[in-house]
Amino acid sequence: MLCFIFAALIVALDQFFKHWIMRTLDIGDVGPEVIPGILGLTRWENDGAMLNILSGQQWLLAGIAFGAAIVLIMILLRYNEGFWGTLGLAAVLGGTVGNLADRVFNGGKVVDMFRTLFIDFPIFNIADIFITLGFITFLVHFIVLTVKGEKNERSTGYYNEGVYDNNYDNSSYDEFPNADVVSSAQDEAYTAESHADYTVPAQQAQYSEQEQYVPENYTAPQSEYVASNDYEPIADTATDTSYTLDALKAELDLMDDDYGDYNVDDLLREYGFEDEDTL
């Protein structure tokens, strides 16, 4: 809202000096020099725009000024590109409303008061000064923002091509929802100084392999399938209680040539067991 206060101050300043000139000088009179050799005072009323454009079209110019003021107000309500840009637009708005007030309350004519002494230049007023300075300020600010934006785009062009997305939403990545928890627990439990103190986190422990259950004092029954009198590997299990599943598989591999495709499942069914897990 400060920009509108600034614009209102410009209107107040412009109208104050215009009414002062109207009370002090008659139309066409020359007043004192404000800046010797550069700027002096006078009184003139212009029924056209700057540089006498559209002279005699007072109400058309009033309508254009009114529309421009509305547009500037709408832009300022939404503009947030920096202080200098806002200041420039507010200055243009204040000057536009100042001249619009003249056209509405002074018979469609704008009161001008300043004349240049070193060159032949049209007479102007305070509103014209702020319109010109505000437009230049906004234009320079816009150019600076454009140049900076192009530099930033060139410097980040690699990422803007889709290789990297700065707006990536980490919350949507849930392939490993407990990864951060497990990693954090590992960092706390595991140190380079003492590996012995390391403990598996609860989230990770549930995925570790379970040890294969082997019944104690297992003795395999005498097998009727014996390769020969010289080699009876299965018969040894009747007295060897430490005989394991891997050992049985190794023995069966040696017996494939004599008994064909005879596997552990077949052997277990012969012994009355359902599957390998019973070993």
Please tell me the distance from the alpha carbon of residue 57 to that of residue 65, in angstroms, as a whole number: 12
Cα separation, 258 vs 228, in Å, equals 10
Local structure of 114: helix, strand or coil: strand
Distances (CA, A) of 7 to 93, 96, 276: 6, 9, 90
User: What's the chain's Rg over C-alpha atoms?
Assistant: 48
Active site residue 128: yes
Write down the catalytic residue from 26, 29, 102, 112.
112
Task: Please confirm, yes or no, whether 112 is among the known catalytic residues.
Answer: yes
Q: Is 162 exposed, middle or buried (0-12, 13-18, 19+ CB in 10 A)?
A: exposed
Helix (H, G, I), strand (E, B) or coil at 148: helix
Give the integer Cα–Cα distance in Å for 124 and 122. 6
Provide the sign of the torsion angle of the four alpha carbons 165, 170, 174, 179, taken in this order. positive
How far apart (Å, rounded) are the C-alpha atoms in residues 76 and 65? 16
In the set 120, 128, 236, 240, the catalytic residue is 128
- Residue spans of beta strands (DSSP E) within the chain: 30-35, 39-46, 110-116
- SS3 assignment, position 142: helix
Q: Which residues are catalytic, by number?
A: 112, 128
